[in-house]
Amino acid sequence: MEGNVLVIGLGLIGGSIALSIKDEHKCKLMGYDLNQDRVRLAKSLNVIDDCVMTIEDEAQAADLIIIAVPVTETIAVLRELAKLKLKSGVIITDVGSTKKVIVDEACNVLPDYVDFIGGHPMAGSHKSGVEAAKKDLFENAFYVLTPTPHTSESAISTLEKWLACTRSTIVKMNAEEHDHVAGVVSHFPHIIASSLVEHAEIYHQETPIIQDLAAGGFKDITRIASSNPKMWSDILLHNREGILQQFEVWMDQMNRIQESIRNSSRDEIYHFFEHAKEFRDEFSTRKGRALATYFDLFIDIPDSPGVLAEITNILAKNEINITNIEIIESREDIYGVLRVSFRNENDRVRANKLISPIYETYILQ
């Protein structure tokens, strides 16, 4: 693909998309951010070809505009772009975690000769900023596109060609469906995770040791509670109706299990856990599903010097890239569990073959 590409917003997501495009396409890639220091940093890291001081400078010559800022700011950017004389046939897309409010705004303010296609790359990192950008951040992840009713098929096809470099799985749906699905698997779980942390904090006041005993399971289920509060406040308010509806369903479920416990209904309690386990286990066995984008290998390791170095050296010598590594539990004189994450299944299989003759390994489905 050739043309002029403008990325508005140079954080982790915008920077990673820019790196992917820059690595594969023959294009002029320009970057803009309200924080000009971030723009200069992106240029110095070769994330972009050149800096843009104002959106107007390059937007009017762009063939593809990628808006990579929070939802509220995305709406403001769309209104700013609507005031400019953009190139006929220009494609504008975004990366917002909620889609209906953005798609509706795009339909209302952008001229007919512009093709807007909502986007949501469903991947991220615990790191932030353009300095953390990686060209393979979206590999094997889902990348949702939400065209407007007026978006041409040729524009959708063109954007898919631009985004093929991300090596993600493109999924197309309407904005309403996206917000419903994202609310179930992403937005509402953030509320639950944060509520569990606050629940623990209540008891922590009277039993401080709770914080010390919060081990692997609690940390895993509440990890996303460490996400950016401003961003998630924004997301929840823009998907307000869907979230409120899910509260009703969730509270009904909690009331039912509460009654089962109150009545000592062993069969009902058992069914609650059994049904959840069966449905959760399906996530890992259904090809192409979101949870399959996390390829973790668990390794039982002894508490002795050099173990981590040995494992990472084996993987490095065989050119197997690690995306994350974590000691889930480590106690003196007791075996701990090391979780090593990989970008794809092939890397995990290779790593398992190398490590399993030395340490016990296993994969959780």
Q: Give the pLDDT score at 105.
A: 96
| pLDDT tens per residue across span 266-280 | 999 999 999 999 988
Which numeric CATH code is attached to 294-362?
3.30.2130.10
* CATH 1.10.3660.10, the chain: domain bounds: 178-249
| pLDDT tens per residue across span 136-154 | 888 878 999 999 988 999 9
* CATH 3.30.2130.10, the chain: domain bounds: 294-362
CATH class name, domain 178-249: mainly alpha
Average pLDDT for 252-266: 96
CA distances from 8 to 48, 54, 353 (A): 11, 10, 43
Strand partners, 92: 65, 116
Q: Which helix (H) or strand (E) holds 308?
A: helix 307-317
At 164, the pLDDT band (50, 70, 90 cuts) reads very high
Q: Give the pLDDT score at 283.
A: 72
What is Dmax (Cα atoms) for the chain?
Answer: 69
Q: Give the pLDDT score at 215.
A: 65
- Tell me what the pLDDT averaged over the chain comes to: 89
| pLDDT tens per residue across span 12-66 | 999 999 999 998 998 999 999 999 999 999 999 999 999 999 999 889 999 999 9
Among 160, 128, 162, residue whose Cα is nearest residue 144: 160
**Which option is the CATH number for 2-173: 3.30.230.10, 3.40.190.10, 3.40.50.720, 3.40.50.2000?**
3.40.50.720
* CATH 3.40.50.720, the chain: domain bounds: 2-173
| pLDDT tens per residue across span 110-129 | 999 999 999 999 887 667 88
Q: Give the pLDDT score at 293.
A: 55
Cβ–Cβ under 8 Å, residues 339 and 298 = yes
Cβ-based neighbour number of residue 244 at 10 Å: 11
Size of the chain, expressed as the number of residues it contains = 365
Residue that has been written with the tokens 């040729």 in this structure: 154
| pLDDT tens per residue across span 326-355 | 876 544 444 578 889 888 889 999 999 999
Among 288, 292, 274, 303, residue whose Cα is nearest residue 363: 292
Distance, CA of 343 to CA of 39 (rounded, Å): 28
